[in-house]
Structure 1
Amino acid sequence: MTDALTATGICCAYGPVQALFGVDLRVGPGELVGLCGPNGVGKSTLLRVLSGLHRPSSGTVGLLGADVTAVPAARRVRLGLSTVVGQAAYGSLTVLENLRLQGYGMPGRDARAGLDAALAVFPRLARRAHQPAATLSGGERQMLVLAKALVQRPRVLLVDELSLGLAPIVVGGLLEMLRRINATGVAMLIVEQSVNVALSLADRLYFLEKGAVAAEHGAAALAGRPDLVRSLMLGGHS
């Protein structure tokens, strides 16, 4: 069966500074995979490469069986890849206007279907459809960013630091939403600094250290190994 997303031998640099060193990673169809590690190890850089925002110096990116290494970011969205980063939304626009803008360029019927599907997943946003995004709470803004991605009806979803800066009760609700989205068949790669959040979601986890994959483990194998998790997060893997 064809993988939803692959990275093979990815090297990447910012000018003379190399950030990624031969990264290999795969996300199977409908799989939810976590990418963990402390700040500065290259997690967000890898997501930029996968989404098409940064060209690797070597290596290949595969999307649903196609080599998309040289494909621009906008084209990757049309091929089925969407990315969720932070709480990015247009504060002066209403919730509905933000969602409609996300469907710009899509055929009218597809954009409407995507909008309806996103609001069905997030009924709380439907109740705030005419409210400016700037007036939403942090958790609601994060819901809006997820909903914006769903308008595009992705087959693969990249999520960067969903839980950052949010209260635990809000994070719990968002994680349940991610599980529901994943249950529809959307493959996901979740970048998380909180390994507990990643363990509660993912089927498998990759750990990055100094721009390279240090380890890969099934979530079930790590559930009862806090010592191993701690060493992986602190760079003390064997």
Structure 2
Amino acid sequence: MSRSVSDPAAPALRVDGISASYGPVQVLFGASLTVERGEMVALLGPNGVGKSTTLRVIGGLLKPDAGTVHLGGVDATNWSPRKRVEAGLSQVIGQSAFGSLSVVDNLRMHGYATKDKKWVDEAVEAALAIFPRLNSRRNQPASTLSGGERQMLALAKAIVNDPELLVIDEFSLGLAPVVVGGLCELVRRLNERGTSVLVVEQSVNVALSLVHRAYVMEKGEIIAEESAAVLAADPDRIRTLMLGGHAAVTG
């Protein structure tokens, strides 16, 4: 699929100084983060600190009060959600699917960003090749899938558009550890194919086992940025940061 964004030297995503509100209530306060090409990054923090609002701004569902969103080096702050998808952004939020439609038809519907039917068919088959378990259930209604399989379908739908940047929101929520481990491996495989990844996750252990770098958010602000390996080796610092410990931030 051709892209309107094609600067290989620029980060896949750069969020600069984003402030955002719902009516009179300000939720984000100058939040900034970057996902480099080929990188996997986590945005961590407890419920209610602004992670989902950050995703809404990145996806074009909420216009920021201030700041910018760049995709592949191009200012996308005022782009529609559709244009961001066409530029290579895919988001996995929840396990939504059309329950009465088959796995294959759910995937085909997600190829709406292109009118090239042959390309969509090839993209669907490529996605199913990555998810053999889904492939074996390709003609089943999505309503018959398990929770883990529905999460696989959500990931597969995202990659039908061959994303340059994949954003995943709480993909481990409510799933058994063995299922989460399998999903993490699938995300690693997508990353190895060249997709940059931003994971928004409450489970610190899951996130740090997957990504290269992590940001920690508290009350609408980014309070720390650290290598995942360094952060994972310091459980005390993780606990402090997740409780809003600004004093724990290092340069």
**Band of TM-score, shorter chain:** over 0.9
Matched, 1:237 2:246: yes
Matched, 1:50 2:73: no
Match for residue 77 of structure 1?
85
Matched, 1:91 2:99: yes
Q: Could you say what secondary structure the match of 2:246 adopts?
A: coil
* Amino acid of the structure 2 residue aligned with 1:127: S
8 Å Cα contact 2:213/2:225 also seen in 1 = yes
Please give the per-residue CA displacement for 1:154-203, whole angstroms capped at 9, x wherever unaligned: 01000000000101111010000000001111001000000001100110
Q: Could you say what secondary structure the match of 1:35 adopts?
A: strand
Match for residue 116 of structure 1?
125
List structure 1 segments (4+ residues) > 2 angstroms apart after TM superposition: none
Post-superposition offset of 1:116: 1.5
Please give the per-residue CA displacement for 1:176-231, whole angstroms capped at 9, x wherever unaligned: 00000011110010000000011001100000000000100001111210000111
Match for residue 174 of structure 1?
183
CA distance in 1, matches of 2:144, 2:172: 20
Match for residue 159 of structure 2?
150
Q: Could you say what secondary structure the match of 1:26 adopts?
A: strand
CA distance in 1, matches of 2:156, 2:168: 12
Match for residue 235 of structure 2?
226
* Amino acid of the structure 2 residue aligned with 1:213: I
Name the TM-score, length of structure 1 as normaliser.
Answer: 0.98
Match for residue 126 of structure 1?
135
Quote the RMSD (CA, aligned, Å): 0.8
Total equivalences in the alignment: 238
Give the unaligned 5+ runs of structure 2.
1-8
CA distance in 2, matches of 1:166, 1:184: 25
Q: Could you say what secondary structure the match of 1:48 adopts?
A: helix
Q: Could you say what secondary structure the match of 2:153 adopts?
A: helix
Identity across aligned pairs (percent)?
58
* Amino acid of the structure 2 residue aligned with 1:76: R
Post-superposition offset of 1:105: 4.4
Please give the per-residue CA displacement for 1:10-63, whole angstroms capped at 9, x wherever unaligned: 000000000100011000000000000000000011011001111111100000
* Amino acid of the structure 2 residue aligned with 1:2: A
* Amino acid of the structure 1 residue aligned with 2:64: P
8 Å Cα contact 2:82/2:113 also seen in 1 = no
Match for residue 206 of structure 2?
197
1:21 pairs with one of 4, 29, 37: 29
CA distance in 1, matches of 2:22, 2:104: 37
Matched, 1:217 2:231: no
Give the unaligned 5+ runs of structure 1.
none
CA distance in 1, matches of 2:29, 2:119: 39
